[in-house]
Amino acid sequence: MNMLKKVALAAALTVSTMSAALADPQTIGGVTWDPDYPLDFSSSSVQIQQFIQPDGSLRGFGFVSTINGYGQSEFCSTGCELTFKFSGYTPIATAGNTTTYTGGIVQIFRNDGPSTINPNDPTTMNDGNTGLGELWLSLAGATFNGGTLLGTINAINPPNLSGLGQLDVVGGLAAAAFDTNQQVGGSDLSFSTSFTQPFPGEGISHVAGTGNFFGQSLQVVPEPGSLALMGLGLLGLAQIRRRKQK
């Protein structure tokens, strides 16, 4: 096999190997997940607190428990944690027991420092120990059918509240991996919530529950053109060497 053929084969193997590697789990900002997971993207939060403000708007905070089947010790193998805050959901219309909200900001933070949160105890979460560290993903409510969130009061006593909304990526370390426009109305991520545990004396105005972010994620990799240029570069080197040998 002459030198040109050898280098051409090496270039093809290099590109194919790199392409195959693109399907591997990826890590951004210390957070690891597998884009090839069958339900990619899917995260769950076993602890969320929601507050209904005097003007009817919603805010709250939560703790990310799993990502694409990985528990916290796996998706944050270095010991970090992901928490999030949400606010700015403003009611604009109510029909029956369902309220349409507009606006909304959701920010997910990665914290490498000491944590005082017990993932199994919602009372250990508060405004002071959530939203710490580096902004990992910043999201804004995406409008679909006139609203960014539908909130439903299924029961008041005991409370049973549910929510379903959609989000657009606007920033953060992992923004490039989630800017997909693949959800309803061209949004990037969707989310659902369920609240059934009231804090004593608070009724539906302060409740604890669970939730999920779901959608699709992208493997953040070099542009295809970069891989092609690498192969062309190897072929070019082979041609130069061949000329020198003549």
Domain ranges for the chain, please list them. 28-34+45-218
Distance CA 117, CA 226 (A): 43
Q: What is the pLDDT of residue 240?
A: 44
Predicted local distance difference test score (pLDDT) of residue 119: 86
143 three-state secondary structure: coil
Q: Could you give the angle at the alpha carbon of 9 between the alpha carbons of 4 and 14, nearest 5°?
A: 125
- How far is it, in rounded angstroms, from Cα 36 to Cα 25? 8
Q: Is the pTM of this model over 0.75?
A: yes
Distance (Å, rounded) from C-alpha 75 to C-alpha 41?
Answer: 13
Q: What integer pLDDT is reported at residue 4 of this predicted model? A: 47
pLDDT tens per residue, the chain (246 residues)?
A: 555 444 444 444 444 444 444 468 999 999 999 999 999 999 999 999 999 999 999 999 999 999 999 999 999 988 999 999 999 999 999 999 999 999 999 999 999 988 999 988 999 999 999 999 999 999 999 999 999 999 999 999 999 999 999 999 999 999 999 999 999 999 999 999 999 999 999 999 999 999 999 999 998 864 555 444 444 444 444 454 555 455
As a whole number of angstroms, the distance between CA 204 and CA 197 comes to 9
Return the pLDDT at 242.
53
Whole-angstrom distance, CA of residue 13 vs CA of residue 126: 52
